[in-house]
Structure 1
Amino acid sequence: MQTTTGLLAELTSDQRERVRSLGHEVHFDAGEQIFEEGTRADRFWILHTGSATLAMHIPGHRDVAIDHVRHGELLGWSWMFQPYVWSLGAQADSPVRALEFDAQSVRLLCEEDKELGLAMTRSIAAVMGDRLQRSRSRLVDLFGPYAPQDRAAGAI
């Protein structure tokens, strides 16, 4: 996962400060839903403390935990790309303190400063690639051949 330093590492110190100046501190209680899959992605967070679970809704099943986001990591990337809809849901595992950013403000800054926009896009693409791989692995574990439910039922 990308850390705060990793997420903004390609930016100049001036660009980093411009992005950080758009954020404000927020808190989430343990168990609090931060965002729901399929809803409008209009903000994102960099976690300072605590952790959150990313979960996928699978019709006919419980939501499936796909990944965990921890201290220093980016929570949410769907805000950057149309249609700006969350592809997963997120819930606080423990009390979370985070820096929250308004998506439209950051997208506007990225459009105004093309170098900043390219660096942010590259960093977010790295997060997306990592989460895609983790999601794939998690779903294969759950639903692929020799999934836990098959082992429990004595299928192997």
Structure 2
Amino acid sequence: MDQSTADAPPVSPADLEVCPAFAKLTNSQRREFLDLASRHRFSAGETILHEGRETRCLWFILSGSCEVVKARPDGGDRVLATLDAGALFGEMSFFSPAPHSADVRATGECVVLRMSAENWEVLEQIGLRPAFHIARQTAAVMSDRLRCMDEWITRVLAETSDPTDRAKRTDEWNEFRSKLFGA
């Protein structure tokens, strides 16, 4: 069942060329995906994903941009990243069911595709090859994001001026990494 928003523009297989996740798919395979995805338009400032909620959807930005925003303990927000057309988000909760770790909100008008976990299962049944290529590209995105986070934290630790504080934080980081990669 198509759950696209009424004001979302139609999307053709050629429109998916903006997203690397669809690069190796044929137009027929892109059509299979589009038949199962829903289209949505968001205005500037609208929240697409809410931190703490679980939607189990994979999102692809076709036009516009979004920002990934993490709530701070003091009640403010911290923008973690800006995602432009071609980017995907929601992958962590999609492939490993859990609440979203941050909000994602539109920075201007944007058009996105949403693939639900239920429709993903249908895609796997009718078109395993497209599902494989999209999942593989998603894994590459997740890997790149993890690598960037690792490099950033390593740089922050190196820039910590107090040697005692740096040693303590480095030990914490190493302990966290051993849990992360040992699990």
TM-score range, shorter chain: 0.7 to 0.9
Q: Which residue of 2 aligns with 1:116?
A: 130
Select 1:22's aligned residue among 10, 15, 36: 36
Structure 1 runs of 4+ off > 6 angstroms? Answer: 140-144
Q: Which residue of 1 aligns with 2:67?
A: 53
- Contact 1:66-1:138 at 8 Å conserved across structures: no
- Contact 2:19-2:87 at 8 Å conserved across structures: no
- What secondary structure does 2:52 align onto? coil
Point out the structure with the larger helix share.
Answer: 2
TM-score (norm 2): 0.64
AA paired with 2:22?
Answer: L
- What secondary structure does 2:112 align onto? strand
How many positions carry a matched residue from both structures?
A: 145
Give the distance between the partners of 1:54 and 1:143, measured in 2 at CA.
23
- What secondary structure does 1:53 align onto? strand
- Contact 2:19-2:60 at 8 Å conserved across structures: no
Q: Which residue of 2 aligns with 1:126?
A: 140
AA paired with 2:53?
Answer: T
Residues 2-17 of structure 1: pairs in structure 2 closer than 5 A: 4-17=18-31
Q: Which residue of 2 aligns with 1:71?
A: 85
Q: C-alpha offsets along residues 97-118 of structure 1, whole Å, 9 cap, x if unaligned? A: 2223333202331255333332
AA paired with 1:49?
Answer: S
Q: 1:53 to 1:136 in 2, by over 3 A?
A: farther
Bigger mean CA offset, 58-67 vs 17-26? 58-67
Q: Which residue of 1 aligns with 2:120?
A: 106
Measured on the aligned residues, the alpha-carbon RMSD in Å equals 2.9
AA paired with 2:33?
Answer: V
Q: Which residue of 2 aligns with 1:85?
A: 99
Q: Higher Cα Rg: structure 1 or 2?
A: 2
Q: CA deviation at 1:132?
A: 2.3
Mark the runs of 5 or more structure 1 residues left unpaired by the alignment.
148-156
- What secondary structure does 1:21 align onto? helix
Q: 1:46 to 1:135 in 2, by over 3 A?
A: same
Q: 1:125 to 1:69 in 2, by over 3 A?
A: same
Q: CA deviation at 1:144?
A: 7.4
Q: 1:60 to 1:71 in 2, by over 3 A?
A: same
